[in-house]
Structure 1
Amino acid sequence: MEYRQLGGSGFKVPALTLGTGTFGGGTEFFKEWGASDVAEASRLIDVSLEHGLNMFDSADIYSNGLAEEILGQAIKGRRDKVLISTKATFRFGEGPNDVGSSRWHLTRSVEAALKRLGTDYIDLFQLHGFDAVTPVEEVVGTLDDLVRAGKIRYIGVSNFSGWHLMKALAHADKFGLTKYVANQTYYSLIGREYEWELMPLGVDQKVGAVVWSPLGWGRLTGKIRRNAPKPETSRLNHTLSQQMGPQVEDEYLYKVVDALDEVAEETGKTVPQVALNWLLQRPTVSTLVIGARNEEQLRQNLGAVGWSLTKEQVAKLDAASDKPKIYPYWHQSGFEERNPFPVK
């Protein structure tokens, strides 16, 4: 396993991280992702550690906390061998303060996560979404306090826009507070908007990308192709999952999958392995959060590391997945002399 620096920190993380959204299946939505119990989760963690994958990502809303509980039980007795990342911000309770990034909610969320995970510290804690109601001073100050208290080691964000992240970084820098070093972001061959603003920001501010849904919400598994029926087991079969996930036009998806098929044949790798390897060669990417319903899927995804696509293969995938940019990015790309694409 390759280990990469997380943003501008001294912390190294594996190129692949195992997501725990498939643990528990405690809600109708998450049942479509998977329903691993403690025994199966323990086996997935065993296989991960055998291959050098030692980071596991969760969130309080995954099956209403059940995913964190199962992860905590599965790593019992080997906490020193694993890295844990988790998230909070979304509603977790019925009270008026059970949501957002207020000092009240974040402090309560971290304490509850520590209890569910059976640990006294979280390696990487990320805000799951942007809270426009709570002042940035309160959010950053609270996280700094939690870091200084030893309950969190590193902090990050998820699903922020560029100005959201930059405002927080500027505040932390001005007052000498703990800065975000991770951005858990959606990025895939069929979702490249991250490149427009967040990637240049990541390069400039040394914020590493922790990529969620690197296979495009299950569309780049190799099971979805032109003129072929949808797979029987897929989160895309669930209406709620379809509505909540990224929207992708069919013809665009098929064009990208056609290119993936060509490169997969050239390399002798699978479609998802090629899609993941393409991401691992992009600037700012620290780790990809992969999901696995079972050991077979996990082992296949682990095959994405240890080799590299050629420049020609990367170019082929770039061309197939390229889409027109929205303003002001299309305008900036016309001034490439002063707005070059980030270099890895």
Structure 2
Amino acid sequence: MSAERPTGGSRLVAVEQSPATGPIPLRRRRVGGSELRVFPVGLNGFGFESTVDTDVAFDILDTYRALGGNFIGTDASKEGRSEAVVGRWLRSRGARSSVILAATAASGVDSPGLGHAAIARAVDLSLGRLQTDYLDLLLLGPHDAAVPFEETLLAVDGLVRAGKVRYAGAVAHDANRLVEARVIAAMLGVAPLVAAQCDYGLANRHGFEGSVASVIADQGLGVLPRVPFSVPTSARRRRRTLAALDRIASEHHVSPATIAFAWLLSRPGVCAPIAAVSTVEQVLDLVASTTVQLTRHQVAALDRASE
């Protein structure tokens, strides 16, 4: 199904700066150097793959959109049910032109690896299931040692030229891989990556903060944290984190999950965390994080607890 493409010239809503709290997330954030403007928190459709029935999924998507949400991520390497659900919802609501769609191409049964043919097939499958003719953002899965990175980036460039993909980003790439991507893109004369999706949150800061975060900042990439909706409790450090979350959540009269996402939104470079949800209530907690104003003391307390 053909969908109307958005045109350029949309107004960028900036992130205001407050002397008391740092960045205050507003209704749209720019993804790296792209023209994409997304709601500060996104929905990951992975939860629709097997655990959420279609009626509940539609309620979740309707609620998110009604609250201003416009950023939905799917996974092109999975069985495809989540994309089919999102596609039916987009068509029934006539919502394609107002939604930013991101799909991940990685290793799957139908499209293994990051070679030219695999990426092309993964994108075509996603487009068919999503009932659209373009993706706003194609996220490249983790390193495929069997495929030269030049081949991957040229494949993406071909999809951009064909109008099937607007922009590309990376999933779980380390600092060296991100540097390599920028160098190769410059050598080949193709568009550079604009975003990086990383496992990042209060419970798993240290894999991101450091060299990866530094390279992302240098390249001006939009950070799209991929996080579980709840904070695990399996380690002492995470228990300390939960205690701090509980205390600060009570001060703001919101859920601990809301505070966890509010903390992420206060981090440098973070564009929009993407979370898989299974209930409407979780959507409400997620969206509430965009209006929570953490004090510097509260941010520091969460930093200490999660170290």
| Distance in 1 separating the partners of 2:216 and 2:293 | 23
Query: What CA deviation, in whole Å up to 9, does each residue of 1:160-183 have, x standing for no partner?
Result: 111111101111022320111111
Between Structure 1 and Structure 2, how many residues are aligned? 279
Q: Which amino acid aligns with 1:301?
A: L
| Distance in 1 separating the partners of 2:77 and 2:144 | 16
Q: Establish whether residue 88 from structure 1 lines up as the match of residue 122 from structure 2.
A: no
Identity of aligned residues (%): 30
Q: Establish whether residue 40 from structure 1 lines up as the match of residue 52 from structure 2.
A: no
Q: Establish whether residue 267 from structure 1 lines up as the match of residue 224 from structure 2.
A: no
Equivalent residue of 2:60, what SS? helix
Q: CA deviation at 1:283?
A: 0.8
Q: CA deviation at 1:267?
A: 2.2
2:36 to 8, 11, 16: 11
Equivalent residue of 2:274, what SS? strand
| Distance in 2 separating the partners of 1:119 and 1:90 | 22
Q: Establish whether residue 312 from structure 1 lines up as the match of residue 304 from structure 2.
A: no
Aligned to 1:108: 121
In terms of Rg, which structure is larger? 1
1:75 to 90, 93, 101: 90
Structure 1's consecutive aligned runs of 4 or more residues displaced over 3 angstroms after TM superposition are none
Query: What CA deviation, in whole Å up to 9, does each residue of 1:194-247 have, x standing for no partner?
Result: 1112111111001111111154xx335xxx5xxxxxxxxxxxxxxxxxxxxxxx
Q: Establish whether residue 20 from structure 1 lines up as the match of residue 45 from structure 2.
A: yes
Equivalent residue of 2:75, what SS? coil
Query: What CA deviation, in whole Å up to 9, does each residue of 1:9-63 have, x standing for no partner?
Result: 23211101111111130xxxxxxxx2231x322222211111110111000234x
Is 1:121–1:151's contact at 8 Å kept on the other side of the alignment? yes
| Distance in 2 separating the partners of 1:277 and 1:196 | 21
- After TM superposition, list the pairs within 5 Å mapping 1:117-266 onto structure 2: 117-192=130-205, 193-213=207-227, 215=229, 218-219=230-231, 249-266=234-251
| Distance in 2 separating the partners of 1:116 and 1:130 | 25
Q: CA deviation at 1:108?
A: 1.0
1:60 to 46, 71, 76: 76
Q: CA deviation at 1:8?
A: 2.0
Query: What CA deviation, in whole Å up to 9, does each residue of 1:106-154 have, x standing for no partner?
Result: 1111111111111000011111221122111111111011011100011
| Distance in 1 separating the partners of 2:242 and 2:95 | 40
Mind listing any 5+ residue stretches in structure 1 that lack a counterpart? 26-33, 225-248, 323-344
* CA-based RMSD: 1.4
Q: Which amino acid aligns with 1:208?
A: G
Equivalent residue of 1:154, what SS? strand
TM-score by length of 2: 0.87
Aligned to 1:50: 66
Aligned to 1:337: none
| Distance in 2 separating the partners of 1:82 and 1:273 | 23
Is 1:185–1:210's contact at 8 Å kept on the other side of the alignment? yes
| Distance in 2 separating the partners of 1:90 and 1:252 | 33
Equivalent residue of 2:182, what SS? helix
Equivalent residue of 1:155, what SS? strand
| Distance in 1 separating the partners of 2:253 and 2:260 | 13
Mind listing any 5+ residue stretches in structure 2 that lack a counterpart? 1-25
Q: Establish whether residue 2 from structure 1 lines up as the match of residue 27 from structure 2.
A: yes
TM-score by length of 1: 0.78
Aligned to 2:15: none
Equivalent residue of 1:21, what SS? helix
Equivalent residue of 2:272, what SS? strand
| Distance in 2 separating the partners of 1:24 and 1:158 | 19
Equivalent residue of 1:119, what SS? coil
| Distance in 2 separating the partners of 1:189 and 1:252 | 10
Equivalent residue of 2:133, what SS? coil
| Distance in 2 separating the partners of 1:188 and 1:113 | 28
